[in-house]
Each structure stands twice: as C-alpha cells, then as structure tokens.
Structure 1
C-alpha cells in the first residue's frame, strides 16, 4: 500500500521573515518606535503615578515614625553638616549668618532630590526583575515612577523648609513662585539621570554599591554646605574655570535657583551668568539623552 503524496503548502520556501510579514506577526517584546513608545508611556501614566505613590507609602512602613522620616532624614543630615561645616570648618564664609541655616537646608533638600532619584534609578530594573519579566509594559515606567516618587517626597520636605524659612524671618514673596519652574526643570533632569542609570544598573548591579561614593563627591563639589564663589575668592592658585565648572554643574544650578527664589538676601550676585539658560539646557539635554538611551535597550531588560 502506497501513501499519497502530501499536498504542498503555499508557504513552502518562504523564510521566517517572509512568513511573519505575510501573517502580520511581530517579535515578542520587540522595541517599539520612539513615538509609539512615548504613546505607550502616556497610556501607562496612571500606573506610573500609582506605583510611585505605593513605593513612597511603603518606604518607611516598618518604621515607628513612618512617613516622618521623609523629612527627618534630610533634616538630620543638615544638622550634621551645620555642625561640621558651619561651626567647625567655617563654611559659612560669604553667607550672612542669619540665612546660613535656610541656605544649608535648602541645599540639602534639593540635592537629596537628585541623589535619591539617581540611587533609585540604578535599582529600577535590577530590583524589579519579577515585575519586568511577568508583565509587558514600557520599562521606562519604572525609573520615571521612581523619579516621581522622589519629587513627591521633596514636596513633603518643602513644607518643612517653608517653616524653617519663616522661623528665620524669611516670609513668602512673589519670587517664591520661581521655585515651581526650577523644580520642574530639576525633575526632568533627574528623570533623565534615572533612565541612564537604570539601563546601566540593569546590566551592572554592582553599580549600586559605587554610586554612593560618586554622589557624595558630587555633593561636596556642588556648594551644598558653602558658597562656591566665596570659597574660591581668595584662592589665587585655583584657575577661574574651576569655579565656573563648579557653579555651572546642574546640581549647583538648581540649588542656587531655589535659594535665589526663597531667600531674600541670596541675591543674583551668588548666581552664575545665564543661570536659567543652563537650567533649561541641562534638563532638555539629560531628559532627551536619558530617554533615548534607555529606549534603545528596551527589548533587553529582564533577559539573560
């Protein structure tokens, strides 16, 4: 008994690429186009906000003081810096004594915003692999939500900062409204950094152990505890471009803008020239570069 020859398939001879094109198949988890990726992120905006709020609530859930640690931690850091730098090392040089505490606390709160965004971004993918592997969603949702979490935490701290300002005789004026665009620009900048370090941390988890040293060095170079122009004024052996680099670094720029907005005696003489142009430039540059850099590796997150 002989078997009849099988009927040839119309797909015989087609390559896998041709078969996929014929039947409208796509690679599972393939990276979408840039504009499509933005559209998907916008569609997940409610998830991003809810995830950031849940992380913020859970952050201190095991501590007895709970959410009070959101402001207690930077306040304690500011107290330590005041004792070491303000009293022992004389870092108040060039800053009127009556505004040094508001100057210092503002710097600590604003720099902590950037520092926490970077540290959270490093672990955004590597620390949430279960979620990344279980669900399909734009992976940029995670570092963006962590940056948003740190913004919400800063807003709680700003309430305490206002009380400190009033306690030192600094009352709200119209210039305080400048805080809003300054924080918006800093958030975009922080988000870009979080996206960059989220991609780097996804392949190199040990980066999370290195970053505290990098951030501490950045903090000491950004004028958190002292005025950069005042500290370099009598140092003739330091080239002038060093002071420019220190003042134009983004952490210093955003701190100075908020100090300028909120502290009456912190005038424009403390600011580098074209400070708003640099603030916008840093935000646009890091925001765009960070987003594209993260998107380029979208299909590799959670694999391997």
Structure 2
C-alpha cells in the first residue's frame, strides 16, 4: 500500500512540558493567567501605550455622547456645585471670613477634588466592567485604571482652564507661580492614578468594597479643606492637639488642593514643604499602586 503521508485523523502524541514550553517560546506565546516578570510588564506597558490612549479617547467620547452640551458638563457640574457650596458654607455658615478670596479658594478646591475623587471612584470599577475584554485579549491589565484616570484628566481640562479665568475675574495677580499650575495638576493626577491602581486591585479581590469607596471619598472631601481653611478651623478649636493641624494639612487630599491653590492665589504663597509632601505622596502611591496591582496581574479576569 502506498504511503501518502501522515494520516490527518491521527491524534498526535501529547507534548511534554519542556516541549510545549520550547514551542511556545519559539512562536512568542505567553501563558495565560500568569504574572509576567517586572521587566516584561514594563515593556508591555510601553508597547501598548497607543492602545491606552485610544481607549482613553473612547472612554472620553462615551461619557459625553448622550449629552447635548457634551464636554460643557465638565464645567457646568462643578460650577453648579460650587454655587451650592458657596451658599451653604460661604454664606450660611460664613466660612468665607476665613479666606480673603473665598470664591477662588472654593472653586479651585472643588474642581480639583472633583477630578481627584473621580479617579478613585472610576478606578475602583476599572476592572469590573471589562471582564469580557480581559478574558478575550492579552494586554497589561494596568492599562484599565490608567485609561480611566487619563480620560478623567482630559475631561477636566476645560474646568481647569475655567479656574484660571475665575482667578483673573476675582482679581488674582498673574505671577510666575502660575507657571506651576499645570505641574500641580500633574502631581494631583499621578497621586490619583496611584490610588486608582490600589483600589482597582482591592475591589477586584472583594467586589463589595466598591460600595465603600464612595464613602471614603465623601469622608476625604470633609477633611481636605475643599470648602474651608483647615488652618483657620483648627485654630478655632479650643485646646486642639498640636498634631491635629499637621495631620489634616499634610494628608494626600489636602496637599493636593493646597498646591493647586498656591499657584493661583496670592494669599497662599508657595510653600516648598507642602510641595515636597505632595510629590512624596504622588511617588509613594504611584510606586505602591504599581507593585500592588502588578502582583495580582495573573488573577484579573477570572470568575
């Protein structure tokens, strides 16, 4: 009988582990559900940077496509919230007496905190809505919290530009410190990104904790001086412990707002101690968030 070659119906013998590994390496295949090495992970992040930007643009468009005013809501919402806060805390509670330019103080704190809090709340759910995508495609999962923070930052740019206009309208002098305004926003963004990485990992491991994040953000709003001067309020407390003021002033949320205010408000001159603390927090959260997220890379997308 003539041999016409191998029988296509014959089941080949199973490969050994060593042979399968060599075959995968030959064709550049990676095992699914396994955490990559740190160097490989960093290279993949850089290789997929264009995908991250495309996803961020898609996230940005999807957020505003159902609104007639679109991107204007990124400005309208914090302005309306600012008016409400001004009436409640500035007029009714008379907290405006603690700050000379309360309008600039309030709007800068509010607009900055809106972005900061959105990074936390959106970051906490960055993985939950992308389970199908993670099961279908191979890419660094860290791109997902990066995408929501970048998208939120781009959405907030019009609001940040309005802050400069409000500072001018309230007769804040334009000084060289204004040049640090985008730098301060970048520090806030890095800090928010690091925290988003951490909460994304935590919520993925225990999804019920997604309900706790908004509560944490609300608490942070009330202790970060969004609508009041921490220094003035602590000074008004009788027999306040000496550690209370520094504890409130140098926690992440407070320093994030303070460095932005110091760039635009003359009554709050630049304090390099505050900036050093803010940069320190940003680096701490970025590095910690990266390693916390990377260590669970092989688990994302599983049931």
Residues 77-226 of structure 1: pairs in structure 2 closer than 5 A: 77-96=81-100, 99-226=101-228
Unaligned residue ranges in structure 2 (runs of 5+): 1-12
- Separation of aligned partners in 1, 2:24 and 2:161: 54
Query: What is the aligned partner in structure 2 of residue 256 from structure 1?
Result: 258
Among residues 55, 63, 74, which one is paired with 1:51 in the alignment? 55
Contact 1:124–1:143 under 8 Å retained in 2: yes
Unaligned residue ranges in structure 1 (runs of 5+): 1-10
- Separation of aligned partners in 1, 2:41 and 2:146: 14
Contact 2:190–2:286 under 8 Å retained in 1: yes
Partner SS state of residue 101, structure 1: helix
- Separation of aligned partners in 2, 1:229 and 1:265: 13
1:67 to partner: Cα distance: 1.5
Query: What is the aligned partner in structure 2 of residue 288 from structure 1?
Result: 287
1:108 to partner: Cα distance: 0.5
- Separation of aligned partners in 1, 2:21 and 2:118: 45
Residue 136 to residue 24, structure 1, CA distance change in 2 (3 Å): closer
- Separation of aligned partners in 2, 1:79 and 1:209: 28
Contact 2:190–2:282 under 8 Å retained in 1: yes
Residues 265-280 of structure 1: pairs in structure 2 closer than 5 A: 265-268=267-270, 274-280=273-279
Contact 1:119–1:211 under 8 Å retained in 2: yes
Aligned residues: 287
Contact 1:57–1:67 under 8 Å retained in 2: no
Contact 1:188–1:283 under 8 Å retained in 2: yes
Query: What is the aligned partner in structure 1 of residue 4 from structure 2?
Result: none
1:218 to partner: Cα distance: 0.4
Query: What is the aligned partner in structure 2 of residue 299 from structure 1?
Result: 298
1:22 to partner: Cα distance: 5.0
The C-alpha deviation readout for 1:174-193, integer Å capped at 9, x for no partner, is 21111122222221111111
Task: Please give the root-mean-square deviation of Cα atoms over the aligned residues, in Å.
Answer: 1.9
Contact 2:187–2:278 under 8 Å retained in 1: yes
TM-score calculated relative to the size of structure 2:
0.89
The C-alpha deviation readout for 1:169-216, integer Å capped at 9, x for no partner, is 224322111112222222111111111111112233332222211101
Moved more, 143-152 or 24-33: 24-33
Among residues 246, 249, 260, which one is paired with 2:248 in the alignment? 246
- Separation of aligned partners in 2, 1:276 and 1:210: 29
Query: What is the aligned partner in structure 1 of residue 8 from structure 2?
Result: none
The C-alpha deviation readout for 1:123-175, integer Å capped at 9, x for no partner, is 10001112111111100001001111111122111121122112112243221
- Separation of aligned partners in 1, 2:145 and 2:87: 35
TM-score calculated relative to the size of structure 1:
0.89
Query: What is the aligned partner in structure 2 of residue 5 from structure 1?
Result: none
**Displaced runs of 4 or more, over 3 A:** 18-26
Residue 24 to residue 51, structure 1, CA distance change in 2 (3 Å): closer
Contact 1:93–1:227 under 8 Å retained in 2: no
